Chain A
Amino acid sequence: MAIDSSASLPLSWPRRHPGKLVLLAALALLLIFGAPKSPVFAALYEWSPALAVGFGQNILISLLAIAIGSLLGLLIGALAVSPLWITRLPARIWVQVFRNAPWLVLIYFTTYVFPFELHIGKSWIAFPDWVKVTIGLALPASANVAEIFRGAIGSIPSTQWEASRSLAFTRGQIFRSIILPQCFKRMLPPWMNLYAVITMGTALASLVGVHDLIDTAQIASNTVNLTGFTVLIYFSVLALFFAYCYPISRITQFLERRYAFS
């Protein structure tokens, strides 16, 4: 009985979601038969490569930002749990400042305060706006990663520390071989959630002139200048972000549930 029901689980989707299935089918039919005739859909088709490039820019920024933010965040998180107050204090201040600042203000900050060129050795290297935005997003990301790290370490039961200490491990050894392996598993769901939030944060890049998805959509909307197209393109942008972030949030929920029981 139980085996039977679990085996049929993947197949039960159409039965459990008849409404969604009908909706999807209707949408597909509308696109296939209605789209080619309407100028609005034709324009969307024409602009779709540009939109794809724009969204690629968003994803590139988000990936770089989470990478930089994670590395920086782990470093700061490690400092924040250090027993020495001289390293702990600056790390805590960093976390407080960048967690409590509006992301938009941080993006303005990196965009306008950083120079547009960097002087490295004898050559000048361009410092494009999208890299500045990436750094602007990596700053709050690092603060959040540090906090996730600290939370994960705090969530390891103190008995693990006692048990390791009783086996004559040093503090460093305890961290490396006992605590950290347990931490990373606990950090994964909130870290993925943070990545989704950063991806949504890349939408702010358009406000400082980065040619991302939203910027492209605005240009397209102004160029085509049809009411129907304006409606369509902004909701397409919404749909694109949703299509990218929703699966991440579902996987996050799945992992959270799985780890909650193990």
Chain B
Amino acid sequence: MSHWLEWFVQWTAKFGLNYSFLLDAYQRGSMVNGALTTILLCLFTIIGSLLAGVALAAMLTSGKAYLAKPARVFIEVTRNTPTLVQLYCAFLVLNMLLTQAVGTANPLTPFAWVVIVISLHKGAFHAEALRAGIEAVPVVTLEAASSLAFSSRQLLWNVQLPLAMRFALPSLINNLIDLVKMTAVASAIAVGDITYASIMIWTQSDNVLELMIVLLAFFGLLSFVVNCVGRALEAKLRMPGYGH
């Protein structure tokens, strides 16, 4: 392991890049921790955002104004304001109020706030995609299911949602790739993700370019993985004869 690292540091030095921080156990450790934190953050927010998206989409398509209206307002506010400001409103304002209310018993860490805020933020985008997918299911197909004596619940689970899911999937995958990139904003409230770990290292060692390459490669890799999983899912759910 260390042998390979040394070789890598020497090899990159030929191009004028200084990767010697990789040989420092402490800095290497914080970088690895940062990478793991980012991966964890992505996993939590992907699940959270999908749950939030399904809930919001259910509200939007419920046909009940007292559910649909608040969901619509929430989605418009979320889509038209910066994530960073939302994060500040949550972490600097709501978290402050929560701490004032319950003191040190406040169970929400900065990590948890990032998960909540990005989940809700991307959930709003998922909800739009899912709503469009649900609306894209032809009325006649639902009528056909009704004529086969499906109950509204069976109709939802066996026909409407499977079709809506397939229509919405490309948008959902794009949203998730965007979500992966968005987790970098966690560094703004000192969550020790890979961006934060890099900032800590480059303020000491002045090797911004080298770390930048690592960051871009890392996020590129994560996006690539999400993309591959998404495409595999699309291929699995493909309806032969429809689309590509």
Q: How far is the CA of A227 from the CA of B76 in the complex (A)?
A: 27
> Chain B: how many interface residues by the 8 Å CB criterion?
37
Q: Which of B96, B185, B195 contacts A227 (CB 8 A)?
A: B96
Interface size class of A (residues with CB under 8 A): 20 to 34
Q: Indicate if the CB atoms of B212 and A108 lie closer than 8 Å.
A: yes
Q: Which of B76, B97, B188, B219 contacts A101 (CB 8 A)?
A: B219
**Tally of A-B Cβ pairs under 8 angstroms:** 101
Q: How far is the CA of A102 from the CA of B83 in the complex (A)?
A: 13
Stretch of B18-26, B86-94, B130-138, B144-152 with 4 or more beta carbons under 8 angstroms from chain A: B86-94
Q: How far is the CA of A109 from the CA of B88 in the complex (A)?
A: 23
Q: Indicate if the CB atoms of A104 and B96 lie closer than 8 Å.
A: no
Q: Indicate if the CB atoms of A104 and B82 lie closer than 8 Å.
A: no
Residues of B within 8 A of A242 (CB): 77, 80-81
Interface 1/0s, chain B 149-185, versus A by CB < 8 A?
0000000000000000000000000000100011111
Is residue A238 within 8 Å, beta carbon to beta carbon, of the partner chain? yes
Residues of B within 8 A of A57 (CB): none
B interface, over-half SS? helix
Q: How far is the CA of A19 from the CA of B83 in the complex (A)?
A: 28
Q: Indicate if the CB atoms of B223 and A203 lie closer than 8 Å.
A: no
- Nearest A residue to B90, CB-CB: A234
Residues of B within 8 A of A103 (CB): 181
Residues of B within 8 A of A112 (CB): 202, 208
- Nearest A residue to B199, CB-CB: A108
Q: Indicate if the CB atoms of A102 and B219 lie closer than 8 Å.
A: yes
- Nearest B residue to A19, CB-CB: B69
Is residue B215 within 8 Å, beta carbon to beta carbon, of the partner chain? yes
A sample of 14 inter-chain contacts (CB < 8 A) reads A19-B69, A100-B223, A104-B188, A105-B219, A109-B212, A200-B80, A200-B81, A200-B82, A202-B82, A204-B185, A206-B84, A207-B187, A234-B93, A249-B80
Which are the 5 A-B pairs with shortest beta-carbon distances? Answer: A203-B82, A102-B184, A102-B181, A200-B82, A245-B80
Q: B residues engaging A (CB < 8 A)?
A: 69, 76-77, 79-86, 88-89, 92-93, 96-97, 100, 177, 181-185, 187-188, 195, 199, 202, 208-209, 212, 215-216, 219-220, 223
